[in-house]
Amino acid sequence: MGSSDDPVIEIAGLHTYFDTAEGVVKSVRGIDLRIDRAETLAIVGESGSGKSVTALSILRLVPAPQGRIAAGRIVFEGRDLVALPEDEMRRIRGNGIAMIFQEPMTALNPVIRIGEQIAEVIRLHRGLPPREALAEVESLLRKVGISDPGRRLFQYPHELSGGMRQRVMIAMALSCGPKLVVADEPTTALDVTIQAQILALMQSLKDDFGAAILLITHDLGVVAETAERVAVMYAGQIVEHADVDALFGNPLHPYTAGLMATIPDLERPVGDRMLPAIPGAVPSLARLPAGCAFQDRCPRVHEPCRAGEPPLVRKDGGHEVRCWLHV
């Protein structure tokens, strides 16, 4: 899928595993994805589905030695990131690929002023002298909607609100003009009003800078507002992949349909607004069942689901689904 023959990044057969006391946890199991220029692709799913591990794999930040990329290719601008030496990978992080983390307070250094933190990235990747780097930081803070940026340069992270800290993270991500921005649950810790502002900011900056965005989220409302395409992950695999309109208009996988059913509908009578829940939980990725990983939670399970794992098949319009109901 996608509109360009020259994607920013293409992932093929990616497997990422973790060695634990429980056994080998197969967090990502053979995913294939591509993201085109100036496109937003969203990955959605419950906690434990493999979304964030996919993001960490792209940046080669999977914690070693417990974690490892066991197989696959991640081709960014013609280079396979999996095979790159670590010093070359460091040059790509923040420069070619940037990341916006879920909680800025864990990503920002609490004892260094925000201006210096962003300026350090600019000096490292762009070679600007300190005075010019700081002037560039002030300009970036203004672009991401931070008031009085000349004063904010000299403040510490704890002196800013949650929304402002997330704007600082976006400014840092954009400081070197990356081709791809990986946003891992960028609005989860924010209230609804600030969420809307941050999403609008990300969209406008994507339009201005031309960067592609990989949006990791569990919030289908965020997906509907921001993404062109969406991949639904479950138990380390992509179980559905389609344009946003196609996915919301006709979800093919029972898991996707279950996620859709949890979206609040304010047009329903007040007494009929009890949200359904998908029963059970994501299975242990160290002890996956034979057959479909969703079988024990699926309302439409039948015999083939327990016999073998379904392939990812392509339907009309490029809509992809991994389910025996559609094979």
Residue-wise burial string across 222-249, b where 16 or more C-beta atoms lie within 10 A, e elsewhere: bbebbbbbbbbbbbbbbbbbbbbebbbe
Residue 42 lies in a domain: yes
Residue 91 lies in a domain: no
pLDDT beyond 80 at 272: no
pLDDT beyond 60 at 251: yes
- Does one domain contain both 144 and 81? no
Of 33-37, 92-96, 190-194, minimum mean pLDDT range: 190-194
Q: What pLDDT is recorded for position 88? A: 94
Angle at 147 between CA 191 and CA 213, to 5 degrees: 55
160-203, pLDDT tens digit by residue? 988 899 889 888 888 888 999 999 888 876 777 888 888 888 88
pLDDT beyond 60 at 1: no
- Does one domain contain both 278 and 295? yes
Segment 229-236 shows an average pLDDT of 97
- Does one domain contain both 47 and 188? yes
Segment 75-93 shows an average pLDDT of 94
- Does one domain contain both 135 and 71? no
Q: Give the start-end residues of each E strand in the chain.
A: 9-20, 23-35, 40-44, 67-76, 79-80, 97-100, 180-184, 212-217, 229-234, 237-243, 313-314, 320-321
Q: How far apart are CA 191 and CA 251, in angstroms?
A: 29
SS3 153: coil
* Domain final residue pick, 125, 153, 175: 175
Whether a cis peptide bond, with omega within 30° of 0, leads into 186 is no
Q: Which runs of consecutive H residues, i.e. helices, occur in 93-129?
A: 104-107, 114-126
Number of domains in the chain: 2
- Does one domain contain both 256 and 136? no
Which residues, other chains included, contact 104 with Cβ-Cβ below 8 Å and sequence gap of 6+? 157, 162, 165, 166, 168, 169
Residue 90 lies in a domain: no
* Domain final residue pick, 126, 150, 175: 175
Q: What pLDDT is recorded for position 271? A: 59
Domain that holds residue 25: 9-85+184-321
Angle at 273 between CA 268 and CA 278, to 5 degrees: 125
- Does one domain contain both 216 and 294? yes
Indicate the burial class of 41 (C-beta count within 10 angstroms; 0-12, 13-18, 19 or more).
buried
- Does one domain contain both 62 and 202? yes
Residue 1 lies in a domain: no
Quick one: which of 70, 58, 30, 50 has its CA closest to 236?
A: 50
- Does one domain contain both 294 and 191? yes
Amino acid at 288: L
Residue 226 lies in a domain: yes
Amino acid at 80: D
203-217, pLDDT tens digit by residue? 877 888 888 999 999
Segment 106-112 shows an average pLDDT of 90
Of 52-61, 116-125, 247-256, minimum mean pLDDT range: 116-125
Segment 45-50 shows an average pLDDT of 92
Of 125 and 243, the structure prediction assigns the larger pLDDT to 243
- Please report the sign of the dihedral spanned by the C-alpha atoms of residue 87, residue 17, residue 106, residue 40: positive
* Block residue for tokens 């689901």: 305
Q: What pLDDT is recorded for position 267? A: 65
Kindly report the CATH number assigned to the domain that includes residue 64.
3.40.50.300
- Does one domain contain both 275 and 217? yes
Q: Please give the DSSP secondary-structure letter assigned to residue 227.
A: -
- Does one domain contain both 75 and 43? yes
Residue 98 lies in a domain: no
Q: What pLDDT is recorded for position 14? A: 98
* Domain final residue pick, 175, 195, 224: 175
145-167, pLDDT tens digit by residue? 898 999 999 999 999 988 899 88
- pTM of this structure: 0.89
- Does one domain contain both 188 and 311? yes
Residue 155 lies in a domain: yes
- Does one domain contain both 127 and 74? no
Segment 267-283 shows an average pLDDT of 74
Residue 230 lies in a domain: yes
